[in-house]
Amino acid sequence: MTLITRLSRLFHADMNAVLDKIEEPELLLNQAIREMEETLSHNERQIKLLDFEQHKLLSKEVDVKHALADINKQLNVCFEADKDDLARSLIKRKLETTQYLKSITTKIVHSIETASQLKNQLKEQQSLLSSMKQKADIFSQDSTINNTIPEWNIHCHSIQDEDVEVAFLDEKQKWSQS
């Protein structure tokens, strides 16, 4: 059983090593940066939508509060005129409007909390993105430096037998003198 496990680990390790050699780290890093930028732009759009929704809800809240003030004025008129039936219908409308106001207030609070969480995530993602870009810059600088360093294999000179003989005699002479 342990032999199969060890062979399995060895196979997975070899496959991962092959995949690591096939993948180009610079391309993968650039792709990760592009994906992070897309996520950032998506989150920025979400925040803008939430801000727009908050603005709409706040204006609705103001309108509903004005409507409640109007209903209260109308209730005062009904009570002064001794119109209880009309007052009951206004009270029903006042209760409905109050419930609607509570739902708007709940939506506003939820929208503000969600926007706050998204803004915090956006800040973290922006700092992570800038760190990834710095790493990419360093990686690209390293790769250009590595490309400018001459390799020894490029200028391979063939060594002839005569060169070996001369070097052998020189080394033998140094050894005999010591």
Domain assignment present for residue 86? The answer is yes
Structural domains in the chain (count): 1
Q: Amino acid identity, residue 66?
A: H
Look at residue 149 and tell me if it is in a domain: no
In a domain, 172, yes or no: no
For residue 63, the enclosing domain spans 13-134
In a domain, 162, yes or no: no
Kindly state whether residue 145 falls inside one of the protein's structural domains: no
Residue 25 lies in a domain: yes
Q: Are 140 and 25 in contact (CB under 8 A)?
A: no
**pLDDT per position as a tens digit, 1-53:** 577 777 677 767 766 666 666 667 777 778 888 888 998 999 999 999 999 99
Q: By CB neighbour count within 10 A (0-12 exposed, 13-18 middle, 19+ buried), where does 81 fall?
A: exposed
The most distant pair of C-alpha atoms in the chain lies apart, rounded to whole Å, by 134
Q: Tokens 């790769």 label which residue?
A: 143
Mean pLDDT of 42-68: 95
C-alpha span between 77 and 165 (Å, rounded) = 124
Q: So what's the pLDDT on residue 21? A: 64
pLDDT tens digit sequence for 100-120 = 999 999 999 999 999 999 999
Taking the alpha carbons at both ends of the chain, their separation in whole angstroms is 61
The pLDDT tens digits of the residues spanning 126-143 come to: 888 888 888 778 777 765
Question: What pLDDT, in 10s, does the model give residues 148-162?
Answer: 544 545 444 567 777
Q: Which residues contact 135 (CB under 8 A, 6 or more apart)?
A: 29
Residue 152 lies in a domain: no
**What's the sign of the alpha-carbon dihedral 163, 169, 174, 175?**
positive
